[in-house]
Amino acid sequence: MATLRHAKFLGNIEKKLQSEAKNNRLILLAKSGQVGVEPPLLRGDKIYPKMKQIVSKAQHEVLIMGYKMDNSDAEKDLVEALKSLNEKASLTGKKIRVRILINKKSGGAAIASNPTPDNIFKKGMPNLSNLDFQYAEHVHSGFGSYHSKMIVVDNEIAMLSSCDLVSSNNYKNNESKYVDVSTILHGRDFVDNIRQDFVKGWNSDSSEASGGRKKEIPKSIPMTEKKMDKDVKLIPAVNALYLSKKANGNIFRRSQLSPYTIALIEAINRAETSINVLSPNLNHPLIIQALAEAVKRNVKVNISLDKNMNDFSEAKQVAGGTNQQGIQSLYDAIMHLPDNKKALLDVRWATNDEGDKLVKLKDTQHVHARMICIDDEIVFAGSSVLDKQSVYHSRECDVVMHSPVVATSYNEKIFNKIFSKAKKINDDPGNLILTTADKSTFKRLDSFLDKILDNIKILLNTTVTNQKEQQSRKEQIKQLRLDLMLVKRNLHYCRDQGGHYRLLKTKENHAEKLLNNVSSKINIKKLSTSPPSKTKYFSFLRGRSKTPVSSLPDSKEKNDCEQLIMLIEKFKHLKSSFFSHRSEKKSIQQKMIAIIKKINKSYTAKEMQSLDNYFEGNDAISKGISDILGREPRAQIDWGILKSNLPSQNRINIEMARMVRSSSLPRK
């Protein structure tokens, strides 16, 4: 029986991880024990009211760690719970400790993706004077984010979730966009592992507290006598293993796996009957390989993913690949198997509740939940995703539970509800994944290419008239490139078909050329009155200046201003790159110094006044030049020539730059 085989699984994995922790920098915690488990919660309308209930009943301590928090129903629920605690503390005279630790992107991380949103604790702190309250942020500029999502109350109850306290899970007006899952654990001995995980994150050098120095969190807190709510159906004495992973901001350090990944691959390799996978992403090659090997052992593998989840970011070389690419790799590994064995792999794209529409990232009912159930007795739940970012870089927290009762609960309440409505990939009209390689492969690939070509021709025959359409066009082109990439990698299945292969290759090359043609024509139609070749360099100026640069007559001042703007934009693109581009950056600095020298040397008072008209209200120009030229010696445009002519000298005395090491410009 499967139960006998997995009976010692958690203990063996714990010993393995603890022995590897000496050499594996990513392993933070791997501790097992027995814990009480509530049935899992699905969606924000169940998760956040439960969070509010748990937090409002705290007697000593509330610890919260998350990836994001913004102005949302969840944030309001949390604030209401904290205000309730504040009133309780004012009556008892005993302060309750509250610590909140949220991830914050900075530098390259904020450029590469959306910046971290503000929340009420950053914008304006509610009155919590009776609480021992402190808010902190884990600041990182690369890949080492805090992706853990945990709430620990009185070292007795813990919530491990796939969701953050964000507006995408708003539920009070029936607008919830994400489908998330939360696991609630009871028991001081086991929950203490999760608390210690939070304490390590709080005490790390990367977390910065608002309002001064971080307050220490004691190693232990008093015992709490808690009465179990009558409506709580607790599954007692469940064997569980808590796994926590350190953040790793080094993109080149990928030789070690997270404890979650090590445990998951080991569990997949032991699977005998079934594996159910629910995740936003799947692209890690070792996990894909383990799933393929399970299919070869006659294990039924069911997978539900979002078809286009984070396609544009996951398609980058360092990210690991899109879900479609990951699933194609999985089918590539079992392509040689007979049809009856390949049928053991059932991959489906998540749909809405009605089952008639595939969900996308910003759609309602987008599946952000993650859980894995193996042989109907081992359950993985928490914050980890099956992609390279999660495996190698983000800080994560997860629990592995060994219990047929818990597994049944997760399958019935979470997995089956989503998987039963999901659409099989071959039933998707836009499917580009090859699940079989036979005589029909040529026709399928040819059909795929025809669809791509038709979409490209539609783009070629439509014009872009405004900035919104331009952005939409760019997203369409990105998606077509991803589709073409998937078809291109499957052409090898037709190599032995001679003329068919050459025909497909020719059509694929033609599609790629047309797509490049579409890309080059995005800016052909004037989106403003600025020259087409320079349109993109003026995007950040629109709406900020009373007198746009593009609308003024040609002049020496206008040309110099345009050159400065172009240099700023080029520098921004280089700065956001993962590579240094030192020579290009130095060249831009030298060109900018030359322009500023020319302005200071040759401009008349009238030309200076004209130049000031361009800069009026455009702080982006000043800031951009400052970013390029550094801190000292100061290189400024000399506005002194205008002192006698313009009374508004304070307004126009714009500091244009801060430092150029090689500059010989006079100091001000």
Same domain, 108 and 189: yes
pLDDT band at 585 (very low <50, low <70, confident <90, very high): confident
Question: What local confidence, expressed as pLDDT, does residue 612 receive?
Answer: 64
Q: Please give the residue range of the domain that contains residue 561.
A: 532-652
Residue 326 CA to residue 321 CA, distance in Å, equals 6
How confident is the model over 332-360, as a mean pLDDT? 87
* Whole-number average pLDDT of the chain: 79
How confident is the model over 234-252, as a mean pLDDT? 90
How confident is the model over 50-79, as a mean pLDDT? 93
- Condensed to tens digits (0 to 9), the pLDDT of residues 358-396 reads 876 566 677 889 999 999 999 999 999 999 989 999 999
Torsion-angle region of residue 152: left (phi > 0), alpha (psi -120 to 50) or beta? beta
Among the ranges given (309-318, 563-572, 598-607, 635-644), the one the predictor scored with the smallest mean pLDDT: 635-644
How confident is the model over 644-651, as a mean pLDDT? 34
Same domain, 450 and 410: no
Is 12's pLDDT higher than 70?
yes
Same domain, 388 and 262: yes
Q: Among 520, 547, 562, identify where a domain stops.
A: 520
The reply to whether 301 falls in a domain is: yes
Class of residue 146 by CB neighbours under 10 A (exposed 0-12, middle 13-18, buried 19+): buried
The reply to whether 459 falls in a domain is: yes
Residue 272 CA to residue 610 CA, distance in Å, equals 78
The DSSP string of 326-384 is HHHHHHHHHTTS-HHHHTTEEEEE-B-TTSSSB--TTSTTEE---EEEETTTEEEEES-
Question: What local confidence, expressed as pLDDT, does residue 133 receive?
Answer: 92
Residue 450 CA to residue 448 CA, distance in Å, equals 5
The reply to whether 12 falls in a domain is: no
Is 90's pLDDT higher than 70?
yes
Looking at per-residue pLDDT, the higher value among 381 and 178 belongs to: 381
Same domain, 169 and 211: yes
Looking at per-residue pLDDT, the higher value among 617 and 368 belongs to: 368
3-class SS letters over 518-534: HHHCCCCCCCCCCCHHH
Question: What local confidence, expressed as pLDDT, does residue 587 receive?
Answer: 79
Among the ranges given (184-193, 389-398, 535-544), the one the predictor scored with the smallest mean pLDDT: 535-544
Looking at per-residue pLDDT, the higher value among 537 and 282 belongs to: 282
Same domain, 204 and 349: no
Question: What local confidence, expressed as pLDDT, does residue 348 receive?
Answer: 94
Same domain, 212 and 302: no
Alpha helices in 461-533 (DSSP H): 467-490, 499-520
Among the ranges given (15-29, 233-247, 313-327, 575-589), the one the predictor scored with the smallest mean pLDDT: 575-589
Whole-number percent of the chain with pLDDT over 90: 38
State the total domains in the chain: 4
How confident is the model over 74-101, as a mean pLDDT? 92
Same domain, 484 and 385: no
- Condensed to tens digits (0 to 9), the pLDDT of residues 449-487 reads 888 888 888 888 887 777 778 878 888 888 888 888 888
How confident is the model over 81-108, as a mean pLDDT? 88
Is 646's pLDDT higher than 50?
no
Among the ranges given (138-142, 319-323, 343-347, 387-391), the one the predictor scored with the smallest mean pLDDT: 138-142
The reply to whether 511 falls in a domain is: yes
Q: Among 425, 458, 488, identify where a domain stops.
A: 425
- Condensed to tens digits (0 to 9), the pLDDT of residues 553-573 reads 556 776 777 777 777 777 766
Residue 88 CA to residue 607 CA, distance in Å, equals 68
Same domain, 75 and 97: yes
Same domain, 620 and 507: no
Residue 51 CA to residue 161 CA, distance in Å, equals 11
The reply to whether 589 falls in a domain is: yes
Question: What local confidence, expressed as pLDDT, does residue 667 receive?
Answer: 36
Q: Among 425, 456, 478, identify where a domain stops.
A: 425
Same domain, 306 and 418: yes
Residue 191 CA to residue 157 CA, distance in Å, equals 6
Question: What local confidence, expressed as pLDDT, does residue 410 receive?
Answer: 97
The DSSP string of 198-238 is HHHHHHSTTEEETTSSPPP--S-------PPPTT---EEEE
Same domain, 199 and 285: no
Question: How far lies 443's CA from each of 425, 493, 503, in Å?
Answer: 18, 12, 11
The residue to which tokens 């872009």 are assigned: 464
The reply to whether 2 falls in a domain is: no
The reply to whether 663 falls in a domain is: no
The CATH number assigned to the domain holding 338 equals 3.30.870.10
How confident is the model over 328-345, as a mean pLDDT? 92
The residue to which tokens 């569980």 are assigned: 240
The reply to whether 4 falls in a domain is: no
Same domain, 266 and 398: yes
pLDDT band at 666 (very low <50, low <70, confident <90, very high): very low
pLDDT band at 207 (very low <50, low <70, confident <90, very high): confident
How confident is the model over 294-317, as a mean pLDDT? 86
